[in-house]
Amino acid sequence: MAKREAEGGGVDPSQVVRHFLFALAAGGAGAAASIALSLAVDLAARLSGRFPWLLLALPALGAASVLLYRVLKLPAHLATDTLVDRLRRNDRVPPALAPGILAGTFLTVLGGGSVGKEAAALQMGASLGALVGRPFKLAPVRRGAPAIPQGYAAATGMAACFGALFFAPLGSTMFVLELARFDRAVARHVPTLLLASFAAFGIARMTGIGDVIPRVAVPAFSWPLVAQCVLVGLACGAAGTVFGTGLRLARRVVRRRVGRPLVAAVAGGLLFAGIVLAFGWQGFEGTGMPLLRGALAGHAGGADFAVKAGLTVLALGFGLKGGEIMPMFTVGALLGCALGSLTGAAAPFSAALGLAAFFGAASRCPLAALLMGAEIFGLAAAPYVALAVAVAYAGSRDVGVFGHGTASELARLRARARDLARRREGR
């Protein structure tokens, strides 16, 4: 036994304790960040609703967020998609990102910008996780194992913060794993991610501060209900493809053609405010939570999902700070509700199906969409959510807002390995 441990096969008890304490600390930090973010964004939303003229200040507020990033020495183009790329490369996450994205999201929502706080929670969680992990001097639990990557602490913080915000620890953990494409460096620490997420969830649940999405009644089984799941899945697959493609294209075009983040933020704010005022779309401002609750109550216009999706692409494409996830939930719920009203199905439950299916297609994270759907709407809804998510994922292109999904990435790596093998054989 002693010989095996000396050769590098034994477990280091001190590191087990360190990882355990780190998970609890990351959970506490994630819960605190989630609560602070919720309070700040809710305040911004209330002020925006009380003072509609703040929409006219959106260009200045967008510029202020860019200038804040400069002061904090953060890359101006650092958004959720670029953060996820850093996670996949195990790159360092700057600690200043947490206050930066908190303030930036507050300013955007204050001006009525169509962004969410959930992806901002991912960014805050990654930043705080990396910061909290430093004092613990984390090393592999098993002696001789590969060194702990920088992305591990960030991933733990992401799972904690997201789990607290949505009261969905299982779905949040799976979301981080799918974003990391089940990278071994992250996947081997699933127990730590789960512990941090559940710790944050417990704290947030005690306070009751977070995104409480109302449950809906689950209809009794019928073949028309199954057909509705397929219909919602197909529609969300197509819409998710358009949304993901549009957002990534908008970001790429703005970054290449406009170039200067300050100019882009001002231009985006002006364009957003002009369109909203011209068409009277003030109801589509902000995170979309009121629209989401309305959809889950069975109320949605036929084209509401397209308006919300377009305004979100515009705001995020021009570099306004905030997240994509709540708008994605809202777009999916609005689409599902509209389809339910059109077909005569239960519109609230159809909205719930749309929420999960659109998120699974647009994020390329179907397992997270399934688990979060089950945690939010209950286990009775899980089979129907699973069917809608599966159809949406299979019927959509692999152009997610966070890049390619795990399945296509594995297929790409296998194809590359086959090409290398053929070249070697040809020699």
- Predicted TM-score of the model (pTM): 0.92
Rounded distance, CA 143 to CA 334, Å?
Answer: 51
Closest CA to 37 of 105, 127, 95, 97: 105
Query: For residues 211 and 274, is the Cβ–Cβ distance under 8 A?
Result: no
CATH code of the domain occupying 10-207: 1.10.3080.10
Domain 223-407, what fold? Clc chloride channel (1.10.3080)
The 3-state DSSP class for residue 403 equals strand
What residues have CB less than 8 Å from 78, skipping those under 6 apart?
69, 97, 123
Local confidence pLDDT in tens for the 427 residues of the chain: 444 444 456 888 899 999 999 999 999 999 999 999 999 999 999 999 999 999 999 999 999 999 999 999 998 888 888 888 888 888 888 889 999 999 999 999 999 999 998 778 888 999 999 999 989 988 888 877 777 777 889 999 999 999 999 899 999 999 999 998 887 777 888 999 999 999 999 999 999 888 889 999 999 999 999 999 999 999 999 999 999 999 999 999 998 888 799 999 999 999 999 999 999 999 999 999 999 999 999 999 999 999 999 999 999 999 999 989 999 999 999 999 999 999 999 999 999 999 999 999 999 999 999 999 999 999 999 999 999 999 999 999 998 898 877 776 666 666 666 777 777 776 6
Rounded distance, CA 200 to CA 270, Å?
Answer: 38
Rounded distance, CA 114 to CA 109, Å?
Answer: 7
User: What does residue 400 show for φ and ψ, rounded to 5 degrees?
Assistant: -85, 160
Q: Give domain limits for the chain.
A: 10-207, 223-407
What residues have CB less than 8 Å from 139, skipping those under 6 apart?
12, 15, 18, 147, 148
Q: Do domains 10-207 and 223-407 have the same CATH topology?
A: yes
Rounded distance, CA 94 to CA 72, Å?
Answer: 10
Rounded distance, CA 138 to CA 82, Å?
Answer: 25
Largest CA distance in the chain: 76
